[in-house]
């Protein structure tokens, strides 16, 4: 769904053109295009990135093997910091 919303926002912005950078009652088309574009990002952040969603589908629905995780049973505070 997040990919569809991103594409919808991109197409709507392209159709509206420069007005898509404007907001408010004086620019309803721009306001709608701006909302569509921003809403796409809120949705992908809230639902997880596309890659995470694909991992969930692969592991839980398709029963593909899980990604290797060397720190699976290690508390977060004990995971070594890189840098």
21 within some domain: yes
* Host domain of residue 13: 2-65
Is the full-model pTM beyond 0.75? Answer: no
Per-residue buried b or exposed e for 48-57, using 16+ beta carbons within 10 Å of the residue's own CB: eeeeeeeeee
74 within some domain: no
Q: How many domains does the chain have?
A: 1
Confidence tier at 83 by pLDDT (50, 70, 90):
low
Report how far residue 32's alpha carbon sits from residue 21's, in angstroms, rounded to the nearest whole number: 10
76 within some domain: no
44 within some domain: yes
73 within some domain: no
pLDDT tens for residues 6-64?
Answer: 899 999 999 999 998 888 889 999 999 988 888 888 877 776 777 888 888 999 999 99
């Amino acid at each position: 769904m997040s990919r569809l919303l991103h594409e919808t926002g991109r197409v709507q912005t392209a159709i509206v053109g420069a007005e898509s950078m404007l907001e408010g009652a004086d620019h309803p088309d721009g306001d709608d295009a701006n909302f569509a574009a921003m809403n796409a990002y809120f949705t992908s952040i809230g639902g997880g990135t596309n890659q995470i969603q694909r991992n969930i589908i692969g592991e839980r629905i398709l029963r593909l093997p899980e990604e290797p995780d060397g720190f699976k049973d290690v508390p977060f505070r004990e995971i070594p910091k890189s840098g």
